[in-house]
Amino acid sequence: MCRYAATKEEKTFHHEGTKDTKEEFSRKERKVGMQRVLKLAAYAVFSVILLATSLDSARAQSGWQAEWEKTLAAAKREGTVVAGIPASSELRKAISGRFKEKFGIAIELQSSRGPENVTRIISEFSAGVRYFDILVAGGATPLALVAAGAAEEFLPYMILPEVRDPKNWWGGHIWEDNVSTKRYIYAFQCYTSETLWHNTSQVEPQEVRSFDDLLNGKWKGRMGFLDPRNPGSGQNTWSFLWKVKGEEYLRKLAQQDLLISQNLRQIAESLAKGKLAFTVGVSHYTYGPFIKAGLPVKPVSKIKEGAHANNGSGVVTVVKNPPHPNAAKVFVNWLLGKEGQELYGKAMVQGTRRLDVSTEWLKEFGIEGCKDVMTVEDYYRLETHLESSVQKTRTPAIALANKLLK
């Protein structure tokens, strides 16, 4: 039997190889151990961050919940809230029934045109009378409250996350007072609507495709215009025409013997009875009862110049030092919540900016929600009601109206 005897050199090589292998194994073991330590450390850091985030979220959640419960309890003790709202019987009926049913808080609604409510609020505020808590109106109407120092900072009244988080609103939070403060007047609606209506028994659709067609001598003395010298839809439309058609156009329009009135009912009724062929500045919610009665009133559709982006009757502000502050908070959060916006939009046939409330149904009435048909950039280009547009467009447009409509 032959045996192999390792040489000295081989023995030395084997010994050194074993030594090298052990050192390599040791290095690998230390590397794996370090990787495990780093993974554990990373996991620990992640867990701490996750825990801190969860705690912050829980604290934030418990914070608004505690504030809401406290506010709701105080509101029930106050017992009532007083709000000025647009002149709509449908809206009055919808709000008064649902709000009290849900919260057990009585609500007193002053249903009038925005300028009338604003004038009353400012007059009472100046006299030290505190009656109104909330004003819901349209266009730039509430800016007068801010100028008179009769408006309360609005954001503290937004408690519920679904209301306060700008991610829930198309365009984020949009403030009517977007130049001076961005604090007092919240715009919750945006849509395009026809404010040019006609009597279908007197006007054929093909007779009016552009605002230029209103200058036809055939229509002289047969048009009504909601007084553009006062805040409201009439002023919005007049400002839009100033912007897209120019002063010369408005000068010619004023020579058409327009029926100028602040009385919405008078203008709408005159169109429904055939005393007028067209009205400008009066919107759908005024014509609702006439449509239901089957009278021949209808908006002029697909007008060449398009329709301006507006907030309709969709701005809200809190009156300075409201007599029922907690009930006012409850109303604000309900109105701007999903239920309130659905109810308000249906009653007024107007479009909310809330992303979780559909406005597609408005197309049935010839109206389109801004979030359905335009970008936020388009909105800022087409609107005429924000404070920035009031300064740039509306102020000179009103000055012209005051000059022409005497």
Each residue of 99-132: pLDDT tens digit?
A: 999 999 999 999 998 989 999 999 999 999 999 9
- What are the extents of the domains in the chain? 69-190+311-374, 194-306
- The pair phi, psi for residue 197, each rounded to 5°, is -120, 155
Tell me the β-bridge partners of 297: 199
| Closest among 152, 138, 46 to 88, alpha carbons compared | 138
Select the more confidently predicted residue: 123 or 19. 123
With bands split at pLDDT 50, 70 and 90, how would you rate the model's confidence at 11? very low
Distance CA 242, CA 238 (A): 6
Each residue of 279-319: pLDDT tens digit?
A: 999 988 789 899 999 999 999 987 888 878 889 899 999 99
Instruction: With a cut of 60, say whether residue 269 has pLDDT above it.
Output: yes
For the domain spanning 194-306, the CATH number is 3.40.190.10
Distance CA 67, CA 308 (A): 39
Contacts by residues 258-264 (CB-CB < 8 Å, ≥ 24 positions apart):
258/223, 258/224, 258/225, 258/405, 259/223, 259/224, 259/225, 260/224, 260/225, 260/227, 260/405, 261/224, 261/225, 261/226, 261/227, 262/113, 262/115, 262/226, 262/227, 262/230, 264/87, 264/113, 264/226
With bands split at pLDDT 50, 70 and 90, how would you rate the model's confidence at 60? low
Each residue of 173-219: pLDDT tens digit?
A: 999 999 989 999 999 999 987 789 999 999 998 999 999 999 999 99
Same topology between domain 69-190+311-374 and domain 194-306:
yes
With bands split at pLDDT 50, 70 and 90, how would you rate the model's confidence at 4? very low
| Stated length of the chain | 406
For the domain spanning 69-190+311-374, the CATH number is 3.40.190.10
Distance CA 338, CA 163 (A): 9
Interval 17-27 mean pLDDT: 56
Least confident of 37-41, 68-72, 318-322, 352-356: 37-41
Q: What is the mean pLDDT of the chain?
A: 88
Distance CA 138, CA 189 (A): 9
Please report, rounded to a whole number, the percentage of residues in the chain having pLDDT higher than 90: 70
